[in-house]
Amino acid sequence: MPKKVMPPYIGAAYYPEMWPAEAVDGEIAKMKELGVNCVRVGEFAWSRMEPEEGEFDLAWLKDVCDKMYAAGIAVIMCTPSATPPKWLTDKYPETLNVQSNGVPSQFGGRCHVCKSSPVMREKNRIIVRKMAELFGKHPAVIGWQLDNEIFHYGDGCFCPLCRERFTEYLKDKYKTVAALNAAWGTARWSQTYDGFDKVIPPRHDTWNHPSLVAEWMRFQDETIISYIREQAETVRGYSDAPIGTDMMPMLELSHEKMNAALDVVQINHYDRADELYRTLFLYDQMRPIKERPFWNTETQAGWNGSAFSASGSRPEGNCYVNTWLPVAKGGEMNLYWHWRAHPNGHEIGHGAVCSSSGRFYRVAEEIKRAAAEFRKCAAFLNGTRVESDIAIHCSATAAVDFHAAPILENFDYRDILLHNYYPPFRHHNVDLIDTGHDVDGYSVVISPFLANVEENGLKERMLRWVEEGGTWIVGPMSDIMTDYASRYANAPYSFLEEAVGVYTKFEQPIDDAQVFARWTEDGAPLAVSRCYDAYELRGAEALAEYAGGGLEGYACIARRSVGKGSIILLGSVIGGDDLLRLVAIPPIAEASENVALIERGGDAEGVIAAEIENKEGYAVFEGRYKNLVTGDTVEGKTVIPPYSVLVLQKIG
């Protein structure tokens, strides 16, 4: 009997339905040559599984799973609900998503169904149940992927059923239409409604009320989450293997809420070769959601593409580092999209591990190298975890609020977290958490642009955590919106002025080169940008003051002790070094900016260092470490070559 396949997992999405049955053995031989130990199958194969309504053929897929198991290759079984067959949409046209102009989506895409449709959901249950009955206990299957890259693409679905359900969503939330009118301020532009059924979902080609946009997006999110949970419940009747859904990096659909009823966080990403820092951000966001290590279910081996190749190729060594990063950051899997390039159809230009003719691309050697190193370092990787003392709030609600009402010009919530608040912590362990995540265990929590602090009891939880000794660095532009994307009318914030002990004298939500600031302790300059809240002190102390632009003498950063901890309120976006000054937690080690450091603890202690910018870097390590890849001893200042990974276990 084959041995159980253990993590780390490395592999690719495999589409046996596209190739002759006799090709499977040859593909498996190539996979074994590279060290591949996991594949994803089934996600777009509905028409092969159910060629006609009620007639099922899964024997071919079972043959594939049997052969994978015999070869020591694990399988993630994927449900095919993202691509229903043509017989389904022809017979049941109500299953197609309806665009905002009233035109149904055309057959031939993916994720183009109405997720409210009872028919669509019933057909999903039938095919998923058939799969779960056959593969629920199959020894090759280590997990399930539901649907594919689920999201509310475009404006969502505008079919009559979705519009009716949106009406019910609003009734449930606001109870009376008078309450909705008051919350949204519909007197503006004579937008007052006299019935919930008169609220028309927003189209992208017209000017929309921000509260309407936010509520429509949240309604779509609830529908999507329900759609996925229904499939998960079906699978659980037959399988104990972990269940997840492979999401994309967009923040508006909450990863935390989506995964609450699932077992394993799955993420797909296609960042360019020169943007490996984006993948670090993503993994630090995925890791805290579940105790179980996350799965990186898709990334490109070489280049991205659709009908043509795009997004640039990967320089030598980049694929190798990209393969290592999710595992270094606490995941247990890296899978590429995809194993063998398509010879026809959609995404014919997309890169893969092998060409459509079955020949390895250059990057295959880098995947082989990483696979060998995973095996060599498996005990350390599986016996250690990434634990963080610092968290940054990364809120799906804030993403929706600022999508509906950005307030700042050219503002993108995820981008400002990615470029302004995440980079200073390249040499720290840091978690990116949504508002429902427990903050106990962190010493510092940073909450920039956290528009709404009311959800999930966050305000009360943060104040209690601060009283117990935490440092909360909050702002700018946090606590400024209600849960229906409106600004507060009585004060700029719902509670932060009172909590910190300030009075906001001026607000300036627009960039101004004339505004600058300095630290009060030593007079050192403080870079500020994007927005400026100027504070009078009402019990707080000023850590920094504005020194220009008409805001002279007002606090830019205010602090107040609360119990054993403190709240630090930021009135502006500040630089990375200045943010580190407030955090006051030393890095894992001194290192160059092009090197990412990940500290791991548990059965052993160690550090993984990865160079991500294709240039020589360095790190200065205290103590002695064994490089688990080379066997060398590492201590002191260490050169880190371009696109290299050091896996260091502490030995002294």
pLDDT at res. 2? 81
Q: In sequence order, what are the residues at sequence separation of 6 or more whose Cβ sits closer than 8 angstroms to the Cβ of residue 509?
A: 407, 408, 477, 531
End of a domain among 539, 565, 583?
583
- Looking at the fold, whether 434 and 549 belong to one and the same domain comes out as yes
- Looking at the fold, whether 458 and 357 belong to one and the same domain comes out as no
Question: Tokens for 566?
Answer: 């403190």
- Looking at the fold, whether 372 and 311 belong to one and the same domain comes out as yes
Single out the residue of 189, 187, 156, 208 nearest to residue 489, CA to CA: 187
- Looking at the fold, whether 475 and 566 belong to one and the same domain comes out as yes
CA-CA distance, 281 to 270, in Å (whole number)?
Answer: 13
Residue 219 lies in a domain: no
Residue 541 lies in a domain: yes
- Looking at the fold, whether 265 and 195 belong to one and the same domain comes out as no
Q: In sequence order, what are the residues at sequence separation of 6 or more whose Cβ sits closer than 8 angstroms to the Cβ of residue 417?
A: 281, 392, 394, 432, 448, 449
- Looking at the fold, whether 119 and 66 belong to one and the same domain comes out as yes
Residue with tokens 């507060």: 488
End of a domain among 583, 617, 640?
583
Residue 2 lies in a domain: no
Q: What are phi and psi of 381, to 5 degrees?
A: -65, -40
CATH no. for residue 596? 2.60.40.1180
pLDDT at res. 153? 82
End of a domain among 353, 384, 415?
384
Residue 4 lies in a domain: no
Cα distances (angstroms) measured from residue 185 to each of 351, 377, 399: 50, 59, 21
pLDDT at res. 297? 98
Q: How many domains does the chain have?
A: 4
pLDDT at res. 203? 86
pLDDT at res. 63? 98
* Helix (H) / strand (E) containing 75: strand 74-78
Question: Tokens for 166?
Answer: 């949106």
Q: Where are the beta strands (DSSP E) in 458-551?
A: 471-474, 502-508, 517-519, 525-526, 528-529, 532-537, 541-546
Residue with tokens 């104990």: 240
- Looking at the fold, whether 520 and 401 belong to one and the same domain comes out as yes
- Looking at the fold, whether 112 and 192 belong to one and the same domain comes out as no
Single out the residue of 558, 491, 463 nearest to residue 519, CA to CA: 558
pLDDT at res. 206? 83
- Looking at the fold, whether 413 and 561 belong to one and the same domain comes out as yes
Residue 221 lies in a domain: no
Cα distances (angstroms) measured from residue 604 to each of 331, 442, 459, 556, 586: 17, 21, 37, 43, 21
Domain extent for 52:
9-156+226-384
CA-CA distance, 358 to 31, in Å (whole number)?
Answer: 11
pLDDT at res. 201? 94
- Looking at the fold, whether 604 and 464 belong to one and the same domain comes out as no
- Looking at the fold, whether 570 and 639 belong to one and the same domain comes out as no
> Mean pLDDT for each 10-residue chunk of the chain (652 residues)?
90 96 97 98 97 97 98 98 96 94 86 94 98 98 97 88 97 97 93 95 88 96 97 98 97 96 97 94 98 97 89 93 98 97 91 96 97 98 98 97 94 96 97 97 98 92 98 98 91 96 96 94 96 98 95 97 98 97 97 98 96 98 96 96 98 88
Question: Tokens for 427?
Answer: 């040499």
CB 435, CB 456: distance < 8 Å: yes
pLDDT at res. 579? 97
pLDDT at res. 471? 98
CA-CA distance, 643 to 246, in Å (whole number)?
Answer: 27
